[in-house]
Amino acid sequence: DAGITQSPRYKITETGRQVTLMCHQTWSHSYMFWYRQDLGHGLRLIYYSAAADITDKGEVPDGYVVSRSKTENFPLTLESATRSQTSVYFCASMGVAGDNEQFFGPGTRLTVL
């Protein structure tokens, strides 16, 4: 699939379990981002990456781990899921040329029981 994809689209897990959300983009964009969206909080940045093997914390990084071994993939791992991590997670990518437009994936709805 062209563009930016996320998997799974829906996930239900239990407190304490490890969960990995996948993000894949086909544009070879340098930048990739992970956000969470919660009612009352808008979108908050969890982690971002400027290039392969370069990652930085965003506004709400605690409880999350990221890696970026390849430019096109940016997985997000919840090492020990908590109920407060129930949210909709969006991945996004951005190139460095032109307008630096940011494109979003379709989102993953995660429920932690």
Partner 1 sequence: ELKVEQNPLFLSMQEGKNYTIYCNYSTTSDRLYWYRQDPGKSLESLFVLLSNGAVKQEGRLMASLDTKARLSTLHITAAVHDLSATYFCALRLNDMRFGAGTRLTVKP
Q: Smaller CB distance to partner 1: residue 59 or 79?
A: 59
Degrees, nearest 5: CA angle 109-101-38: 25
- Give the total residue count for the chain: 113
Q: Smaller CB distance to partner 1: residue 14 or 53?
A: 53
Chain residues binding partner 1 by CB under 8 A are 33, 35, 41-45, 48, 56, 58-59, 90, 92, 99-107
The residue ranges of DSSP E strands in 52-95, in sequence order, are 54-57, 64-66, 76-78, 87-94
Q: Smaller CB distance to partner 1: residue 40 or 69?
A: 40
